Structure 1
């Protein structure tokens, strides 16, 4: 037929067998309009990265710029809890996470913001930047189980720590050292299972410092920590470009920022004597030394 009575029929199709849909049950097809040739392009999407599981909530850094959100944090943090210092902090952090999540959703609804549309616009912007040949590097930096004290120490290890060094390492931790550890952390680095980034502690230190300091000192002095506090995420970091086997990944543990504060306090204490406890030929991973010194 010709003219207005002409009939168009789509002949561009994709076929899949039962075996295919058994292996790739989330397969979908996207149809695109005719632009260049007389064929309409189609795209087969396997949806291999689709995850229907519920993602854990992570506190967004931007919410800390709003005084009314800080007020919400202050109100829920000041609720009294009964228990050990670390248990009280766990309860307070849980309430902060729930309250800030609700505040965030209410705020976004007021702004009528739809995150799906935002993600699509963001992906489109990234594609435009890549197609434009941009090669700039962006650096984001604005960022288990119970522990038990070690008692079975081998007796045949030669002592390398002098009495003076032992006094330095055994010196009680102070609130000043804890504050230093908090504010020397990358504010926006990946958070752990509790979803609380380091910037939360830095921005709200005037609200949480007393409870957090008491809990951290309790952990450092007793060597014990709650399981809830010491949970971690296991992340797989690629070692190479061609990923073919599990050995091509390097597993790392993402612990909660609160526990990173504890370990940073211990690390800062050890740095005071580590320089002359480690042999002179070990130059890597030590402050003030470089692996290139061995060349």
Structure 2
């Protein structure tokens, strides 16, 4: 799974005999309680953006070929599919990641405003993914060395009065802790997983309910009477104001009103990316939005 995640830029599937039970419902018989290795296996799936692929067939695919109360059944044959990469906000705290995105963004792209924007966002997402993989490897190495460095640092303090090794180890873990906090903060905001904010029946019913609540049936006018004629809801001046062209300032205001870590769209890019990189992406973003609003480009 790690090889696929690090080297394949598109979605992929892993299937076969994994010889590992993920959850208690995939096992019948034998010892009850915590399944050895299940937590680590599920953590690996989450880190590599894998999800279970639904299947039809027997509930269990393996047995220990014993009798009576000694029988154990397990589901070991299964498949996992990758989810499209969702940009991780903590990468944007590293200047080298921003530079990589900047270099790719400034490369020329042919096509309409929308096509150019899609291509550049795709490049940016891939840059962030590569940066994420690199940083994960770096942090894994640092974490494995932390105990040794800490012990060595304490030893130097006690024997030589030197604090350099200890201070360096401490500083690296403070940085790692900050990155981890932002990582899990973004995960906590992932409403598409935790609150059903996905392309599901629940989600569409929720959107429909919101649209019904936002529907304006009538307007109460100054004399206390209700006007239910939608043609007269707006005055001529109001209608003229709605026809005024949008400005770059309004586009920027709309972008920065977006919650930085709110659930992103299908491209997996959170609003914080646009906030952090606005200084070099603003012309493309504003140009694309205005072109769409003017009807000069398809969304």
Q: TM-score range by the shorter chain?
A: 0.3 to 0.5
More helix by share: 2
Compute the TM-score of the two structures, normalised by the length of structure 1.
0.47
Compute the TM-score of the two structures, normalised by the length of structure 2.
0.46
